[in-house]
Chains A and B, each alone.
Chain A
Amino acid sequence: MTELSFYGFRPPGIEGESLPGRLIVIEATDGAGRSTHVALLKEWLEDEGYAVLDTGLRRSDLAGPGIQRAKGGHTLDPITLNLFYAADFWDRLERQILPALRAGMVVLADRYVFSLIARAAVRGVSLEWMEELYTFALVPDLVIYLDIDVEQLLPRVLSSTGFDYWESGQDFLRGSNVYESFVQYQRMLLTEFRRLARRHGFTVIDARRTVSQIHQTLRSVVDDVVRGMEEWPSDRAGMEQVHVARMDGAGHAGHDGVDVTRSEPAAPSE
């Protein structure tokens, strides 16, 4: 059972109830194997009998096409672009994620608000403004961070898609050397991700290992979260509690395996 808990405020139109589903988020930079592991987890969960919805950025009916167009023209200032992403995120939360959670599904989110916050922060958008913007986000049951270094990232990116314009930070970094941009941008991004991992208590998984090893670790942390879904919550009908957690320090009980690091949430900064 998932409590309807938001980082800051409860958005209008969301009924006060608990949700029988589970929201599991996987965060990582591009090339860390995020999409691969979402695909493997989905297959495994379905084999186990769970109904799964997977969702990723820019997949909303409302704002997805607009973002694609805007990115194509490279014309947007960072504030506008982030508001576009926020509209896309909200539309998916409201019309895909929450209905699936209400129906008792496991929602696997290929990235969540943290990727958006990290990318904006390295581009100079106020971190405080970004975190405030996303205080309407639902607090997930589990946030997994696939931790990797630029050194391990490079061969993976080169062997697949190559250096992407945005993933090399070329929209804001000066200089024409794509390789150097990529390294500089990813270092900045990884620093930001690790800071967020500490602040929000992500379950950090070492992504330098083999796909098979990582998948086994993911199974065990996910299993802890989905266990108990066989029964409907006893108070499913009448539950009216809505909890509001703070953006800083909203963590979840995690797994204590040897290859999983629990980032302890930082103390509230106020």
Chain B
Amino acid sequence: MRDDLGLPGRLFIVEGIDGSGKSTQLNLLHKWLISQGYLVVFSEWNSSPIVKETTRRGKKRRLLSPMSFSLIHAADFASRVHSVILPALQAGTVVLADRYVYTAFARDAVRGVSRNWLNKLYSFAVKPSLSFYFDTPLAESMRRIMDGRPKLKYYEAGMDMELSSDPEESFRIYQGLIKHEYERLVDEFQLVRMDATETLIRQQQRMRDLVRPHLSGVMRFDGGEIHQALRDADLLGRYLSDGPGRLPAP
């Protein structure tokens, strides 16, 4: 990964198995950063509009062998790096990513793809300022997932790996393999390990404490100007889309 670009923006990413609570924490961090006046760009795994159709096609028809799975996700990631992440970092904003290259490293490595090849394949990626790994016991994350979403999808459950014909059992074994692979990655890439069994507020406090030192010198957007204008004009801003005097939705 490239870390010699000297870009004015900052990149923070979260990793962890499904049900580790990483998205919840990133979401809270997102809101806090905005409240602090930072410009934030958010990028999600597997969301490039250009690649989406091919991924959907592959998943629906179950055309994705480990290598095609790997290459299609790399294409999706590359597209997001070039069209979203890199421009935002060049412009000086904070970029938050829910899953990053480590998700690909873990998912592809458990499917037998060469780790060395993966490292070189993703050499175009920008190295994050901070990477958080949400460490949670397998049983706990399984409970969280099975509570809310009983229907497991084919690839999400690792059914392509033929670990078990029972989706729930397959999912459990698969998540265990991914978790094991994450353990290697935490050491190799110095991810910050977050104890995802702590209270949500404690986790968020720790995240903010770790992020704060990286924010010095990052561009902030002064949203105060509209308040001043409203005061000067003696208005509430009732019809502004996100104005302070906005009426509650009927």
User: How many A residues touch the partner, as a band?
Assistant: 20 to 34
State in angstroms the CA–CA spacing of A70 and B52 once bound together. Answer: 11
State in angstroms the CA–CA spacing of A43 and B66 once bound together. Answer: 35
Stretch at the interface among B15-23, B55-63, B93-101, B192-200: B55-63
B211 within 8 A of A: no
Report B194 CB to chain A, min CB distance, Å: 31
The answer on a CB contact under 8 Å between B51 and A66 is yes
**Residue in A83, A90, A133 with the greatest tally of chain B CB atoms within 10 Å:** A83
The answer on a CB contact under 8 Å between B53 and A80 is no
User: How many B residues touch the partner, as a band?
Assistant: 20 to 34
State in angstroms the CA–CA spacing of A69 and B56 once bound together. Answer: 15
Instruction: Tell me the total A-B contact number using a CB cutoff of 8 A.
Output: 95
The answer on a CB contact under 8 Å between B68 and A62 is yes
| Contact (A83, B78) CB under 8 Å given A13-B112, A132-B117 | yes
Tell me which residues from 129 to 151 in chain A have a Cβ below 8 Å from any Cβ of chain B.
129, 132-133, 135-136
Q: Which residue of A lies closest to B63 (CB)?
A: A62
A116 within 8 A of B: no
A155 within 8 A of B: no
Question: Could you say which of A9, A84, A132, A133 contacts B54, with CB atoms under 8 Å apart?
Answer: A84
B120 within 8 A of A: yes
The answer on a CB contact under 8 Å between B71 and A87 is yes
Report A82 CB to chain B, min CB distance, Å: 8
Q: Which residue of B lies closest to A79 (CB)?
A: B78
State in angstroms the CA–CA spacing of A83 and B80 once bound together. Answer: 13
- Interface residues of B, Cβ cutoff 8 Å to A: 48, 50-51, 53-54, 57-58, 61, 63-68, 71-72, 74-75, 78-79, 81-83, 111-114, 116-117, 120-121, 123-124
List 7 A-B pairs, minimum CB-CB distance, nearest first. A12-B112, A83-B75, A66-B54, A87-B71, A77-B82, A80-B79, A80-B78
